[in-house]
A and B are shown apart, each in its own frame.
Chain A
Amino acid sequence: MLTTITVNGEARSLDLDPRTTLLDALREHLLLTGTKKGCDHGQCGACTVLVNGVRINACLSLAVAHDGDEVTTIEGLGTPEHLHPMQQAFLTHDAYQCGYCTPGQICSAVGMLREVEAGLPSHATRDVRADAVLDGEEIRERMSGNICRCSAYPQIVAAIAAVAEAES
């Protein structure tokens, strides 16, 4: 089934079996292997990408359903020469060990900060009528869809907090 998805700014046309997930289309068809397959069931967050600016699990989405969408993967956020601030913060704060969950963590964190900016409350928001203040508890709750098997959580929270602070 012919599907055109704009990936990291470039329109890519693919002829896909409808069963192909967005994750497999990125990794197996477009060879963008920065996005990782962990559980393949939406539980670990390693496959997190931004679709039209919003973070989702690429493993729980059919590629053919994204015809016309704009997808940003870790490869599209920054380059080795020009890192995205979130990528730089993960380096600065040593926010990983094995690195397998890191692309998903970074894409998720970028999407998460946009959600906070848009006023989306979380389970950690005391009063959902008021705008959330992004403290450590808020970051941990909002990032609970991303698992780090090496448990670099304190550094991940520090990296995200640093970017949030720099942006505000």
Chain B
Amino acid sequence: MRPFTYERATDLGQAVREASQTPGARFLAGGTNLLDLMKLEIERPQHLIDVSRLPLAGVEDADGGLRIGAMATNSQVAGDRRVREHYPVLTQAIVSGASGQLRNKATTGGNLLQRTRCPYFYDTTKPCNKRTPGAGCAALEGVSRETAILGASTACIAVHPSDMAVALVALGADVETQTPAGDTRRFPLMELHRLPGETPHIETHLIPGELITAVVLPPPPPGGQIYRKARDRASYATAHASIAIAGGQVALGGLAHKPWRAVTAEAALAAGASPTEAMTAELADASVGELNAFKVPLTTRLFAAAVQEISGEAA
């Protein structure tokens, strides 16, 4: 691990100001992803601002929904009685990711900002445009099934690994932030992450030093909710494909550089198409290679099964 200096933030405004003014500064929350990458020297911060003890860990009722503090741990959110009762898709998504120990440490904000698990991002002997912009992408010609089929570019075919974020996108969540200038911003989570384009190293629309302070859930949508995930192992593995359904809203995981809101499938389903037809329409423009082509039928079948399961519960 490269040397760095460490400080524990006690004031939100001061933390974001310092983060924007100190060269090489990064926020540290749960650290489960950042420290892993620092050990591999993929992340090389010069200064860590530990925000884990800022008073941002509460889960509060808000306008018929919930306001989840950015420092609330994954376990805390998944186990919250209100989340289990009114947003079961969120609990299901969180507990389908990582391990018990990691979920106890990982935070809501950190989960959204975790880096890709693309094996070529982790392999420092291979070029990666995320690690070194302009270096090239070894995954393009590489041996991996864990690559994107939606929204990818010739610079990057990595996928976003979060399960939680997929459920939050289906639920229509907003993100709340604090900017270095001291302003509070609020915008749809769907607009947090970027597609890779030519700059895959820039993964979100956050400005330097801006800190996620909360995720805000609207009132639960009418209709059933479900999270379904397909992966290589029964537990503790990222998704080849995952699906979150919340009422009429559908989001997909494991397929793109960001949690993917499936608006085409939603519209088709609402217009009376079968789940298979709806997902086939959503994935009509999918760009696949030999190794990840399986994600198209996998996602389509996973969606059909998930819709059937919700219908069964409603009946």
Binding site for B on A (CB under 8 A): 1, 17-19, 21, 40-42, 45, 48, 54-57, 60-62, 64-65, 67, 108, 111-112, 115, 118-123, 125, 128-129, 140-146
Contact B91 A18 (CB under 8 A): no
Assuming the contacts A19-B3, A41-B39, asked whether A115 and B99 have C-beta atoms less than 8 A apart, the reply is: no
For the complex, what is the distance from the CA of A55 to the CA of B75, rounded to whole Å?
A: 11
Closest to B83 in A: A128
Q: Which 4 A-B pairs have the closest CB atoms?
A: A145-B99, A144-B235, A18-B6, A120-B79
List, in ascending order, chain A residues with CB within 8 A of B1's CB. Answer: 19
Alpha-carbon distance A65/B35, docked complex (angstroms): 12
Could you tell me if B99 and A144 are in contact, using CB atoms closer than 8 angstroms? Answer: yes
* Complex contact A42–B96 (CB within 8 A): no
CB distance from B84 to the nearest CB of A (A): 5
Q: Which residues of B contact A115 (CB under 8 A)?
A: 75, 79, 100
CB<8 Å pairs between A and B, sample of 23 = A18-B4, A18-B6, A21-B35, A41-B39, A42-B101, A54-B75, A56-B101, A56-B105, A57-B101, A57-B102, A60-B35, A60-B105, A62-B31, A64-B6, A65-B8, A115-B100, A118-B79, A119-B81, A122-B95, A122-B100, A123-B92, A141-B235, A146-B99
Q: Is B61 an interface residue (CB 8 A)?
A: no
> A108 and B4: CB pair below 8 A?
no
Which residues of chain A are near B50, meaning CB under 8 Å? 62, 65
Q: Assess whether B91 is in contact with A56, with CB atoms less than 8 Å apart.
A: no
What is the size category of the interface that chain B forms with chain A? 35 or more
B90: nearest chain-A partner, CB-CB: A128
Contact indicator A121/B32 (Cβ below 8 Å): no
What's the minimum C-beta distance from A42 to chain B, rounded to whole angstroms? 6
Q: Which residues of A contact B75 (CB under 8 A)?
A: 54, 115, 120
In addition to A42-B36, A60-B35, A115-B79, 6 A-B residue pairs with Cβ atoms within 8 Å of each other are A19-B4, A41-B36, A48-B101, A57-B101, A62-B48, A121-B84
Whether B144 sits at the interface, judged by CB under 8 Å, is no
